[in-house]
Chains A and B, each alone.
Chain A
C-alpha cells in the first residue's frame, strides 16, 4: 500500500517515532498485529489503523481513540510484526502525548482504566507499595460502583486471599521525592 505521508520536522509522525524508537513508516499494513492482538475487538481502531493514522497525521483521531488505553503491552503483535515495529511502544507514545496534551477519550471504560492506574500510583506514593484491598475499595468509590466485585469479597477475605493491611516502606520520603523529580523530568522531556 502506498502511503503519502508528511515526512518532515515537527510532525506527529516524527514525534511518535522519536518517543517510541520505532519507524511507523515501515508499516505496510499487513494487519498481522490486528489478528494477533487479544483486545483489538474492544478498540475503536485496531493497531493497524492507528499506524495508518499516524502516517496520515490524524493526530487528534489517534489520541481520542480508546485503542492506546486498551493496549495490554503483551507484545504479541511486535513479536510477529514482519517490519519489526515496536507497536506497544508506539501505542504508549501516542497515549503519553495524549496525556501531556490533555486529550481525554470520552468513554467510560477509558475513564475507569485511567482512574485505576491513577489510584495504583497514588497507593505507591502513599505507602511505597501497593495496598491491594484499599486500592480496590478506592476504585469502587471513585467510579461510583460500590458493589463491584462484592460477591468475591466473602471468599477472598475469609480465605485470606487478599490481606487487610500493607507493610509500608521505611523510606517513604524517598518515594515522595522520586514522584516530584519524575514530574520535573516529564516536563523537561516535552
Chain B
C-alpha cells in the first residue's frame, strides 16, 4: 500500500466537506493511505499574497516543514488554491535558498525547510500516480451517458513554471479521467477561465459576470453538468448560480460535481454518501442520464456529385 501526506485545507472542514469525504473514498479504493499533516495551518490563500509577501511565503512554509517531518515523499492537496500557494512557495524556496532561509526565520520552532517533499494536486495525483488504467480497473458502476464539461479553473495548471502539470491553455487530464469512468467529456473552451475566485464575497458582481460566462459555455457544449477540482470554483458556480440566472435572465440548471464525487460513484459507493444534499443546484437530473446511450453524431453522407467531383480532382 502506498502512503502519501494529506493537506485538506480550510474549506475541507467548511464549504467543501464533500470534496474531502470523497477524496478519502477514492484514495481508499485505490489503495493509497493518507496521513494528514498534524496541526496544519491555512495557506493564506489570495489574501496573504495580496497584502504581504512575507506572510504569503511563511504560512505555506510552516506546512511544508511539518510535511517533511512525516516520512512520505509526496503531499497531495485537494484545494486548487492551497495547492498553488504551497507549490509556488516550494518552487521559489528551492530556486532561492537565501529567500528560504529568510522566510524560515518566521516559522518559529518547527525546524528547517529542506525541500524534500513533492507537492501534487489531487487531480495531478489521480492522473500521474494512479493512472488511467488503474482507475478504469476499479470502475464497477460506469457513469456512461453523462456528458460533462470539465472545468479546471486557473490555479491547477497555471502558471506552468509553478504547476509543471498539463496544458495551461487546454488541459485534458480531467477529461481523460471522466472518460475512464465511462462519461463523455464535452469540448469546452472555458476550461481554464477564471471564475472570479475570492471576489465572491468582496466584489460579487465580478464573480457573477465571470462565472456566468463559464456556465453559458458549459451549457453550450451540451453538458449535463460541470466537473471541478477546486472548492472555490464549486461554490462560485453552484452557490452563485441562482444569482447569475437572475441577473442575466437565463436558466442553466447545471449541477457542479467534484471530480472525486463522480469517481466514488463509479467505484460503486452509494449515492447517499456523496453529501449531495449540500449542493445548491440539485444533482438528480444529471445523474438520471447514467445508463443512457449517447449517439455519436453521424458523419455527413456525401452526395453522388461530391464523390464524383473528388475523384475527378484525384
Contact = CB atoms under 8 A, between A and B. Distances in A.
Interface of A: 38-39, 42, 69-70, 72-76, 78-79, 86, 92, 95-96, 99, 109, 112-118, 120-121, 123-124, 128-130, 132, 135-136, 139, 148-149, 152, 155-156, 159-163, 166-167, 169-171, 174-175, 177-179, 181-183, 185-186, 189
A169 B14 contact: no
- Tell me which of A78, A129, A135, A156 has the highest count of chain B C-beta atoms within 10 A of its own C-beta: A129
A96 B49 CA distance: 9
A39 B10 contact: no
Across the A-B interface, the 3 shortest Cβ-Cβ residue pairs: A116-B202, A181-B106, A74-B154
Contacts of B308: none
A186 B53 contact: yes
A169 B39 contact: yes
A161 B280 contact: yes
Interface in B97-116: 102-103, 105-110
A182 B159 contact: no
How big is chain B's contact interface, by range?
Answer: 35 or more
Contact of A186 (B13, B52, B107, B196): B52
Interface in B1-31: 10-11, 13-15, 17
A117 B46 contact: yes
A181 B13 contact: no
Interface of B: 10-11, 13-15, 17, 39, 41-42, 44-55, 58-59, 62, 102-103, 105-110, 154-155, 158-160, 168-169, 192-194, 196-199, 201-204, 206, 210, 235, 239, 277-280
26 contacts: A72-B196, A74-B158, A75-B154, A76-B154, A76-B192, A78-B159, A116-B198, A116-B202, A117-B51, A117-B202, A120-B198, A121-B47, A129-B41, A130-B45, A135-B201, A159-B279, A160-B17, A161-B280, A163-B13, A169-B39, A170-B39, A177-B106, A177-B108, A178-B59, A182-B52, A189-B53
Contact of A174 (B52, B103, B110): B110
Contacts of A155: 280
A136 B201 contact: yes
B106 A79 contact: no
Nearest to A36: B193
Contact of A79 (B62, B169, B198, B279): B169
A178 B66 CA distance: 15
A182 B194 contact: no
Given A130-B10, A185-B54, A38 B194 contact: yes
B47 A79 contact: no
Contacts of A116: 47, 198, 201-202
A170 B66 CA distance: 14
A112 B159 CA distance: 27
Given A130-B10, A132-B14, A161-B239, A185 B103 contact: yes
Contact of A175 (B41, B192, B206): B41
B159 A75 contact: yes
Contacts of A99: 51
Given A159-B278, A189-B53, A152 B109 contact: no
Given A38-B194, A76-B194, A161-B239, A182 B280 contact: no
A132 B105 CA distance: 29
B51 A185 contact: no
Contacts of A129: 10, 13, 41-42
A42 B194 contact: no
A174 B59 CA distance: 10
- Tell me which of A39, A69, A117 has the highest count of chain B C-beta atoms within 10 A of its own C-beta: A117
Contact of B199 (A113, A139, A177): A113
B206 A179 contact: no
Contacts of A69: 50
A160 B277 contact: yes
A48 to B, nearest CB: 18
A108 B239 CA distance: 25
A65 to B, nearest CB: 15
A162 B11 CA distance: 9
Contacts of B203: 109, 112-113
Contacts of B110: 174
